[in-house]
Chains A and B, each alone.
Chain A
């Protein structure tokens, strides 16, 4: 079974079938791109995987475990990070704090027992947080050495993640995220996603608003993080050059349904894809 396994996934909004019986799988360490015309249902697939919407039908499994309909926060706790197409940084928090918040799920000195809670039964899951949270608050105030150590590590981690973006973000480290330009806010989102140390990374049009050189830069960056962190990535992007060069496989959606799947080269010349998505230039 593949690392991410989506089976017969559907989602309707009123009469509209935004996602229509889609099945796909992503192997561990693979980079798969999801492309398709506007309104094809790509973002909705992300929303279904991350539990933002409950699916109308179908299953989603991550690493052999069923995560269909799991609350959003718990999907993240299992190592799924995503960026948003419309760019949702924590506008009032500083750039660095945005990244630090991204690390939330794997802080165990500051959030004692959090990992445990997820493994409890339904009753325990309701009761345990009330015992855990006051403890977390106490640690936040007292800041024992273990917590301080983790804070220091977190600060280093944040610095190194922001460092990946060269000089683009580091000088703005302390500034609120809303004061960055559009494309830089999107870079903050990627940095935040990396801080989660994801096993599966969902990127929704990361290159929107970047010129060819900047796109190329981000492409190198994605390739780099893939190598360094061994990430599994599902990518939505309209910039074809990048898709063709980065992807192991490409899946094409149209009107909510999968119309093609294959290597970049295969997909590129598929007449259906050319017709629905690429237009005459391809």
Chain B
């Protein structure tokens, strides 16, 4: 469905991604792991068109979309949960959620709003509060809910569990699985490797801006070497 081919991305003179390739197939959950500053967010931004690579291709549904602007990509069914949430601070919770449905024209937006609010009762209590005053975790819920509102085919999530309380971390991963079961493809950057790999089909590991490893999630999860070196598993 989506693939990156030999992406090289730069910030000014500094190269952040080196020949990164990856593939996300229809209906999968794919997770991207890696240490801090390894280029995870940059990969995500390249997929979304916020970073323009200097070399390589981004392909969606067999079509080269490397030069396509972000809004056009969103129209083709991409949605995102950005790093650090990026809630619209002066819009209410409700308005923020509706922004998620910006590209939709159908009548079912109201139903979806109700469904998302059922998923996150806290947001339901706070429909009129402005996004900027929500607590960190509440904002994260809002960012998740906002992405669901677009009825996307593929959601890119940059650390969706960041700032969530343990109980909600479990719930949010269950939610990701549910959403996936309904046919939405998911590409997720996660630090919580253990949980992420346990729900993912396949995984990739970035290191210093280059793809170090890839494979079925179960394989990555059970390879002790990988657990120790790449997944930050603490040798017990």
Interface residues of A (CB under 8 A from B): 13, 36-40, 43, 85-87, 168, 179-184, 205, 208-216, 238, 240, 276-282
Contact = CB atoms under 8 A, between A and B. Distances in A.
Nearest to A240: B166
Given A38-B122, A39-B138, A181 B170 contact: no
B202 to A, nearest CB: 19
B193 A37 contact: no
Contacts of B141: 38
Interface of B: 11, 14, 33, 35-37, 41, 83-84, 122, 133-138, 140-141, 159, 162-171, 191-194, 231-234
24 contacts: A13-B133, A38-B122, A38-B137, A38-B163, A38-B164, A39-B135, A39-B137, A181-B37, A208-B136, A208-B163, A209-B159, A210-B36, A210-B191, A211-B33, A211-B36, A211-B192, A212-B192, A212-B193, A213-B35, A213-B233, A214-B191, A240-B166, A279-B167, A279-B168
A154 B36 CA distance: 28
A280 B62 CA distance: 43
A45 B14 CA distance: 40
Contacts of B231: 211-213
A40 B14 CA distance: 41
Contact of B36 (A86, A181, A240, A276): A181
B234 A213 contact: yes
A85 B162 CA distance: 11
Contacts, number: 107
A39 B169 CA distance: 15
A177 B192 CA distance: 25
A87 B86 CA distance: 13
Nearest to B134: A39
A97 to B, nearest CB: 19
Given A38-B168, A238-B163, 10 more contacts: A13-B133, A38-B137, A38-B164, A182-B84, A211-B33, A212-B192, A212-B193, A212-B231, A277-B167, A282-B166
A169 to B, nearest CB: 10
A118 B146 CA distance: 47
Contacts of A39: 122, 134-135, 137-138
A262 to B, nearest CB: 18
Nearest to B191: A211
A208 B164 CA distance: 9
B84 A43 contact: no
B233 A212 contact: yes
B36 A168 contact: yes
Nearest to B167: A279
Contacts of A215: 232
Kindly name the residue among B84, B134, B193 whose own CB sees the greatest number of chain A CB atoms within 10 A.
B84
Contacts of B11: 179
Contacts of B135: 38-40, 43
B84 A87 contact: yes
A212 B170 contact: no
A13 B138 CA distance: 16
A271 to B, nearest CB: 14
A278 B133 CA distance: 25
Contacts of A210: 36, 191
